[in-house]
Amino acid sequence: MVDVGAKPSTTRLARAEATVQVGEKLTQLISDNQVAKGDVLTVAQIAGIMGAKRTAELIPLCHNISLSSVKVQATLLKTEQSVRLEASVRCSGQTGVEMEALTAVSVAALTVYDMCKAVSHDICITNVRLLSKSGGKRDFQREESKNGIVTEVE
């Protein structure tokens, strides 16, 4: 692990997202809350929070961080036939929380897959990415232009 002992303790915030493409049939089942395993969006939110809290157990060499806030939002996008997941993680400490945010959306996405796989295996987890981070040596903000080109703002 990297020694972070000399770093200043600051408020760290990271946001990440993921998309789960589920198709027409699953979009309707999720919308009607008719998936056999239960409420997909709520369970995905809870799973994402649990994943963020256990990041250090899942990712080798990742620091165990005391988190002050974890928020996961799961939104069904009917026209895109997908579930959009976004996580926001905050702590006060000497190292960032981007791995916790990325783990949150990854676990939430895997939960959507698990809950829906009895209906279809044609489910695609895409776009797992960091949206922003702040509070450390370098801030990061992902910005997308109108033509779809991504630029990094530091």
- Which CATH number fits the domain that encloses residue 117? 3.30.70.640
Residues annotated catalytic, as ranges? 114
Cα distance between residue 137 and residue 151, in whole Å: 19
| Residue 154 is assigned to a structural domain of this protein | no
In terms of residues, how long is the chain?
154
- Assign 143 a pLDDT band (cuts: 50, 70, 90): confident
| Residue 67 is assigned to a structural domain of this protein | yes
Residue 146's pLDDT is what?
54
| Residue 84 is assigned to a structural domain of this protein | yes
| Residue 55 is assigned to a structural domain of this protein | yes
| Count of domains forming the chain | 1
| Residue 85 is assigned to a structural domain of this protein | yes
Domain extent at residue 31: 15-135
Residue 149's pLDDT is what?
56
CA nearest to 80, candidates 126, 39, 27:
27
| Predicted TM-score (pTM) of this structure | 0.92
Half-sphere CA count of 34, side-chain side, radius 13 A = 8
| Residue 140 is assigned to a structural domain of this protein | no
Residue 23: CB partners within 8 Å, gap ≥ 6?
A: 81, 120, 122, 123
- Assign 78 a pLDDT band (cuts: 50, 70, 90): very high
Write out pLDDT tens, residues 33-75.
999 999 999 999 999 999 999 999 999 999 999 999 999 999 9
Question: Helices marked H in 1-154 — which ranges?
Answer: 23-31, 40-53, 55-58, 98-116
Residue 7's pLDDT is what?
87
